[in-house]
Structure 1
């Protein structure tokens, strides 16, 4: 019997263009889980290059890996620095509560 070799799934391998990245990020924002948002930003950062993101944000790679691991929510300062460095602008849309 032959064994099948597999690798863990890594979303960063499938973020091929800006449309993929935007849709992935939008889904995470809509979910509303800060740790998930951090993990998604980590996937996007790894797809684009964590070293460049570290340069663009002024944060260390180690700090970024830790903040964007999905194990905890990053600080709002880190969140905004990362979003800006990745070329995203956070906008809000008012949605009335469901009746």
Structure 2
């Protein structure tokens, strides 16, 4: 019996702002900076990387690189991406 697998892309399932917020909340709870960076990249792809790049003032290529698993974006870049996605970053105690 052969099992056929299909490729999973989380970006295809982030439809609403609520979906995106729930996804990012779960990732931030984990606290892994590499995972957070990757998740921001997934959300940027879901929203349209070209549009996010325009809104951040970065090139598409540099945004892909910064938000890849190997990227190490500056905090200013992370904030620009969060703002471009129409989200807010908050801290709670």
For residues 29 and 3 of structure 1, what CA distance do their matches in structure 2 show?
A: 34
Runs of 4+ in 1 over 6 A off after TM superposition: none
| TM-score, length of structure 2 as denominator length | 0.90
The alpha-carbon deviation at position 90 of structure 1 amounts to 1.1
| TM-score, length of structure 1 as denominator length | 0.85
For residues 30 and 38 of structure 2, what CA distance do their matches in structure 1 show?
A: 12
C-alpha RMSD of matched pairs (Å): 1.5
Number of aligned positions between the proteins: 93
For residues 36 and 72 of structure 1, what CA distance do their matches in structure 2 show?
A: 11
Indicate the residue corresponding to 1:93 in structure 2.
92
Residues 83 and 7 of structure 1: CA distance in aligned 2, closer, same or farther (over 3 Å): same
Equivalent residues in 2 for 1:1-99, closer than 5 Å: 4=4, 6-94=5-93
Q: Is the 8 A contact 1:37 1:70 kept in 2?
A: no
For residues 55 and 29 of structure 1, what CA distance do their matches in structure 2 show?
A: 25
**5+ long unaligned stretches in structure 1:** 95-99
Larger Rg: 1
The alpha-carbon deviation at position 77 of structure 1 amounts to 1.1
**5+ long unaligned stretches in structure 2:** none
